[in-house]
Amino acid sequence: MEKITSFTIDHIKLQPGVYVSRKDTVGSETVTTFDLRMTSPNEEPVMNTAEMHTIEHLAATFLRNHPVYGSKTIYFGPMGCRTGFYLLLAGDYASRDIVPLMIELFEFIRDFAEDVPGASAKDCGNYLDMNLPMANYLANRFLDQVLYHLDDARLIYP
């Protein structure tokens, strides 16, 4: 079997950033998959499931309610390796195209201080596995260390 594309990226050189992982054609539409890498693979600890779960709930809610990208958001969810998230948008995008959206999203997560949307037994299959303070911290870290200082090294896969 051939390796899938995401397993051909050099995870030793990969640093946190916003990358186009792939583009797929569905009918006449292009779907762009983004790799939102928040931690350095194999160099620093991965994120715990509680904060990832919280980021997932907040990001999915924010993106699906966004006035411009709400109707273009197909999926937001965690990577199995727990170093980041995937975002799938309808449309043909470059990494730089969504930087303002990512700043807006992660500022929202950084500043969020209410009840996490969908964090109840009725709404979620694992609602107790949430950590809002750590999600706030990680969003702030991603903004300060990556999103506010992006260059091509953090926008194009190594």
Q: Which domains does the chain have, with CATH numbers?
A: 5-154 (3.30.1360.80)
Which pTM was predicted?
A: 0.96
Interior/surface letters 37-73, b for 16+ CB within 10 angstroms, e for the rest: bbbbbeeeebbeebbbbbbbbbbbbbbeebeebeebb
pLDDT at residue 3, rounded to an integer: 83
Question: pLDDT digit of tens for each residue in the chain (158 aa)?
Answer: 988 877 888 899 999 999 999 999 999 999 999 999 999 999 999 999 999 999 999 999 999 999 999 999 999 999 999 999 999 999 999 999 999 999 999 999 999 999 999 999 999 999 999 999 999 999 999 999 999 999 999 999 99
Report CA dihedral (62, 138, 111, 98) to the nearest 10 degrees.
-40
